[in-house]
Amino acid sequence: MTEIVSPFTGESGPRGPVEELDRAAELLRRAMPDASVVRAHPLLVLCTREEATAVLTAAEVWDRGRDLLKPFTPRIAESLAVVLLLGRPHETDVAQAVNRGLMSLLPSHPTSEDLTLAVTRALELLDAKSRAESRGKWLRRFRYELGELIDIARAMTTERDVHKLLSVILEKSRFVTGADAGSIYVVEGDEKNRQMRFKLSQNDSVTYDSSEFVMPISNRSIAGSAVVGKKAINIADVYELPPGSPFGFDRSFDQKMGYRTKSMLTVPLISQRDEVIGVIQIINKKKVPEKKLFTKEDVQELVVPFDERSEELLGMVAAQAGVSLENAVLYEDIQRLFEGFVRASVEAIESRDPTTSGHSRRVADLTVGLAKVVDRESGGAYRDVSFSREDLRELEYASLLHDFGKIGVREKVLVKAKKLYDERLDLIRSRFDFVTRTVEADVLRRKLAALERGAPRSELDALDLELQARTTELQEALAAVLSANEPTVLAAGDFAKIEAIAKETYFDMRGQMQRLLDEDEVVALSVKRGSLTPGEYDEITSHVTHTFRFLSQIPWGSALRRVPVIAGAHHERLNGTGYPNRLRAEEIPVQSKMMSISDIYDALTASDRPYKKAVPVERALDILEYGVKDQHLDPELVRIFREARVWEGVT
């Protein structure tokens, strides 16, 4: 046997490390035909199966020639390689040796069984670790994707604006699949006349303006085919469509923008009723999502087909998106229905009192405008008050419907322009005419009797004067009634005239004595200010109670739940003298305080009404200040209203 001198020990032996490794390599080739056995170096034997490698070397290499193992350090760190030593090294720190990749110590001259068993177990261990790490990576990826899908679902379910929701859907679809661009379509129309509306597109690589357009639903377009077939369409390269494809691809956008559309994945959005309501179309899956596609070469290098996992992820997003889009559309429909109800209610209110037409809308605009200014205040009593979009919508509805309770007030009271209703004034005129004719008839009867008995001329003249005096008296009394009927402030003497007229009597057609003015007419004509009697005023003020009661029966939902309370408190006053509940300042919602200012301002400055003329803006502002002095209106809110000139933004 030829002696071999060891390059590490200088010792001679029947068989040195190099020869022993030769022998080990040959044994492994015969015993493990499914593995690759390579002599990478005279002192190294590599046994590889799939991605796992067992590095076989001599103990002397571990002690004094470890540089030979450096090329394997990265694979050892990744648990893709381990070291097996023939012989026992001098190093005794086992933990450190294991950390550096040492797995097994074999005899210097191992048997075939020892060698095969050690290498097989080493490869199996590496394979098991690789599978475990692969499962760990898959689990981490799964958890990451699950977290993203949960975030996407949360984002979709919380967005109610359809346009914003579509943008979120497309953005998240591109994100989970690594797509460079995409578009989204919405299906419109009924079963007999359906079409697709292009809503929006996104592209990371090129910038352009897009506008909505409609297209028919048919197999001639990729998006249309996805709608018709109700299934996803995955195309590796739209420039090379499969033979027999019913659809084509329009390259005009690519030619115009210098873009290259390649891979495309189109997925229908299906509602809970199993109807296609939209389409997501994502374009160009990138190997590196952060990269942009500026040239055709970039597309060639970076773009790959959408894989099965991309289809799965987009399918999950599309499923959630379909439900979210359906809910958002339904929410918009309900919103439009609700707004239609509010508009119809306002129209119903104002149709009963045409003189106040537009009042509700103007009060709403003034109040919301004031709220927006208050929201921006950084100092003062309302620096901490803020109004969200939902708060402003709630305030708008409350303001629009603040007079809704007038539905429960008699129309003739609402439109009463004079102290007496027209029919009652006509009755009084008829009564005065009757009394005048009665006086004339009585005087003529007496005059005829005088003539028959030959009365002197002086007696006849006296009768004529009596008739003239009585007629004039009745005319003056009627004139006093007509004057008192005007809704102005009356002097004390006017009330005395009305009371005196009311004491006058006459005999009706049945011979029964009646008063010239009845009790209700005296009460109406004696109103000191305006045109309403105390009872009618109470009826008018009851509209606030009606408003609260009517609005409380409407299921407003949590976002608008305070509409009845806000609308029902707009006639409350800070000092507790308002109605209907005599709330004091701290009990009145700030929204109602703002509405009170807007309501008074518009009532003062609105076009002429039968019972008043419009006042100039400055005069109206002065009257608001009087309201502050009387502790009716909030001084800070009036200041903000005046300084911000809120009315200038309202037509």
Residue 366 pLDDT exceeds 50? yes
SS3 state of residue 576: coil
Alpha helices in 32-111 (DSSP H): 59-64, 73-77, 94-99
Interval 39-76: pLDDT, tens? 989 999 999 998 899 999 998 888 888 888 889 988 88
Q: Please indicate whether residue 415 or residue 644 has the higher confidence score (pLDDT).
A: 644
Residue 493 pLDDT exceeds 60? no
Rounded (10°) CA dihedral 201, 206, 211, 214: -50
Rounded Cα gap, residues 68 and 409, in angstroms: 102
What counts of helices (H) and strands (E) characterise the chain? 22, 16
Residue 155 pLDDT exceeds 90? no
Rounded Cα gap, residues 624 and 403, in angstroms: 20
Q: Which residue has the tokens 């300042």?
A: 585
Rounded (10°) CA dihedral 383, 389, 390, 395: 60
The mean-pLDDT minimum among 165-174, 407-416, 513-522 falls in 407-416
Rounded Cα gap, residues 287 and 126, in angstroms: 29
Residue 323 corresponds to which tokens in the numbers above? 């439900």
User: What is the rounded average pLDDT of the residues 628-651?
Assistant: 92
- Which pLDDT value is given to residue 13? 44
Cross-strand pairs, 4: 13
The mean-pLDDT minimum among 18-32, 485-499, 525-539 falls in 485-499
- Which pLDDT value is given to residue 330? 79
Q: Where are the domains of the chain?
A: 4-131, 159-331, 353-413+536-649, 422-527
- Which pLDDT value is given to residue 418? 87
Rounded Cα gap, residues 437 and 375, in angstroms: 70
- Which pLDDT value is given to residue 430? 93
Interval 392-404: pLDDT, tens? 999 999 999 998 8
Phi, psi at 215, each rounded to 5°: -145, 150
* pLDDT interval class at 226 (50, 70, 90): very high
Determine contact, residues 532/416, Cβ cutoff 8 Å: yes
Residue 172 corresponds to which tokens in the numbers above? 């998240």
Residue 14 pLDDT exceeds 80? no
- Which pLDDT value is given to residue 38? 92
Q: Please indicate whether residue 18 or residue 352 has the higher confidence score (pLDDT).
A: 18
- Which pLDDT value is given to residue 262? 95
Return the CATH number of the domain spanning residue range 353-413+536-649.
Answer: 1.10.3210.10
Whether the full predicted model's pTM is greater than 0.75, yes or no, is no
* pLDDT interval class at 1 (50, 70, 90): very low
* pLDDT interval class at 651 (50, 70, 90): low
Report percent pLDDT > 70 for the chain: 91
What architecture (CATH level 2) is domain 4-131?
Answer: 3-Layer(aba) Sandwich (3.40)
- Which pLDDT value is given to residue 368? 95
- Which pLDDT value is given to residue 3? 37
User: What is the rounded average pLDDT of the residues 91-114?
Assistant: 82
Determine contact, residues 163/199, Cβ cutoff 8 Å: yes
Rounded Cα gap, residues 324 and 157, in angstroms: 6
Nearest to 354 by CA among 418, 414, 422, 283: 414
- Which pLDDT value is given to residue 455? 85
Helix (H) or strand (E) holding 143: helix 112-158
Residue 410 pLDDT exceeds 70? yes
User: In 448-537, where do the E strands start and end?
Assistant: 505-507, 513-515
Q: Please indicate whether residue 593 or residue 176 has the higher confidence score (pLDDT).
A: 593
- Which pLDDT value is given to residue 625? 95
Residue 356 pLDDT exceeds 80? no
- Helix 112-158 × helix 308-352 angle, to 10°: 10
SS in 3 state form for 222-249?
Answer: HHHHHHHHCCCEEECCCCCCCCCCCCCC
Nearest to 120 by CA among 220, 37, 206: 37
Handedness of CA 22, 26, 31, 36 (dihedral sign): positive
Residue 540 corresponds to which tokens in the numbers above? 């008018």
Q: Residue 441 burial by CB count (10 A; 0-12/13-18/19+): exposed, middle or buried? A: exposed
Q: Which residue has the tokens 């997501």?
A: 280
Instruction: Go through 515-533 and write b for each residue having 16 or more CB atoms within 10 A of its CB, e for each that does not.
Output: ebbeeebbbbbbbeeebbb
Superfamily of domain 159-331: GAF domain (3.30.450.40)
| DSSP per residue, 254-304 | HHHHT-----EEEEEEE-TTS-EEEEEEEEEEESSTT----SHHHHHHHEE
Q: What is the DSSP pairing of strand 264-270 with strand 233-235?
A: antiparallel
Cross-strand pairs, 57: 44, 85
Query: What single-letter amino acid sits at 239?
Result: Y
Q: What is the largest CA-CA distance in the chain?
A: 189
Determine contact, residues 401/566, Cβ cutoff 8 Å: no
Sheet holding 36-41, edge to edge: 36-41, 44-49, 52-58, 81-86, 102-106
Rounded Cα gap, residues 514 and 497, in angstroms: 18
User: What is the rounded average pLDDT of the residues 92-107?
Assistant: 79
CB atoms within 10 A of CB 89: 17
Prior bond to 242 cis, omega within 30?
no
Handedness of CA 28, 30, 36, 42 (dihedral sign): positive
Q: What is the mean pLDDT of the chain?
A: 86
Cross-strand pairs, 196: 187, 215
Cross-strand pairs, 54: 47, 82
Residue 84 pLDDT exceeds 90? yes
Q: How many CA atoms lie within 13 A of 144 on its CB side?
A: 8
Helix (H) or strand (E) holding 409: none
Tell me the C-alpha to C-alpha distance, in Å, between residue 550 and each of 42, 102, 143, 206, 562. 98, 85, 52, 55, 13
Determine contact, residues 6/17, Cβ cutoff 8 Å: yes
Interval 518-570: pLDDT, tens? 999 999 888 887 788 888 888 888 888 888 999 999 888 888 899 999 999 99
* pLDDT interval class at 157 (50, 70, 90): low
Determine contact, residues 504/436, Cβ cutoff 8 Å: no
* pLDDT interval class at 376 (50, 70, 90): very high
Rounded Cα gap, residues 590 and 200, in angstroms: 41
Residues 6+ apart with CB under 8 A from 558: none
